[in-house]
Amino acid sequence: MSSTVVLTSDEIHLITGYTSPSKQLDVLHKRGYVRAFRSREGVIILERKHFESVCAGTFSQKASMNHSTNQSPNFSIFKTKTL
């Protein structure tokens, strides 16, 4: 593999087996590559680091979603003091 930031169109075709961008994106998302997206030009973009982390099992969609939703705002500064 090359050291480009994103996978090439040929690499995405090899991974998915499809040439249609909509089919490619569908297959990638089903396989856990949730950060894959379609550019304005209609080309599928998949970051190489994300691809490698999913392949290595170090990226978990559930963990990344829990990480961002586990936090709750701190409204303590809005509490009024009772006299």
pLDDT of residue 20 exceeding 80, the answer is yes
pLDDT at 41: 96
- Over residues 58-79, mean pLDDT: 64
pLDDT at 83: 62
* Residue of 40, 59, 50, 54 whose CA lies nearest to 7: 50
Q: What is the DSSP letter of 40?
A: T
Alpha helices for 1-83 (secondary structure H): 9-16, 21-30, 48-56, 61-69
